[in-house]
Structure formats: structure tokens, C-alpha cells
Amino acid sequence: MEQFVMYFDQLTCPKSFPWHFANIVATNEHIIEVMFSNTASETNKNKITELCKQQLILYFSKKLTTFCLPFISQGTRFSSTVYDELLKIPFGYTSIYKEIAIYLGSKNKSRAVG
């Protein structure tokens, strides 16, 4: 069985952003997740986390509107459909969980979307 080494990096978000940090988790080949938090953490970065960090910096400075990262989804089938719907939200726009749930066919799934 192949063993994965996990790498972690953290970006300080702009002051206008509601969270202080973007926490990046990756393997040697893929981004696993990017989560936002208000807690500083230790880093163990690699080239994939650095690439993600660079693209987030460009995104926050409005110089990048589309990410090009090796990302692997580890969620359920429902999670995958939510991710696909999130990718349809244009740069500079926001959406609420209920809107996404309606696009997925049920306004009652807004809690599951979140």
C-alpha cells in the first residue's frame, strides 16, 4: 500500500477577508483541501502547497480569476456535485447554500450543501 506524506502551508489572508488564514493541505501531487481559519499553525510545505499559495495571493489581489491546481476530491458523490456547482460561480460573485441546493434540485438540502 502506498503511503502519502501530507504537507501543510498557511497563507495570511487580506484584512478585508473574514478569515485570517488559508490552510492548505496537500500530498506530493495533489491539493487535498483549503480551509479557512483564524488560528495560526505550523507548516511543512512542498511545491504543491507553494503553487496553491501563489495562486491564492494572485486571486486575493484580483490578478487571477481561475485556479489551475492539481486537486483531488475525497468527498461523497453529493459533495462532488456541490463542488461542481461551486465551480460555476463566476469570479467576484457569491452564492448562498440555499441557492446551490435549489440548483441541485432541493431547497431542503441547503444544510447539507454547507
Does residue 4 surpass a pLDDT of 80?
Answer: no
DSSP state of 16: T
Residues 6+ away with beta carbon under 8 Å from 61: none
pLDDT at 1: 46
Does residue 2 surpass a pLDDT of 70?
Answer: no
Q: What is the pLDDT of residues 51-82, one digit of tens each?
A: 999 999 999 999 999 999 998 878 888 988 99
Q: What is the pLDDT of residues 76-106, one digit of tens each?
A: 889 889 988 988 998 888 999 999 999 998 8
Between CA 59 and CA 65 the distance in angstroms is: 6
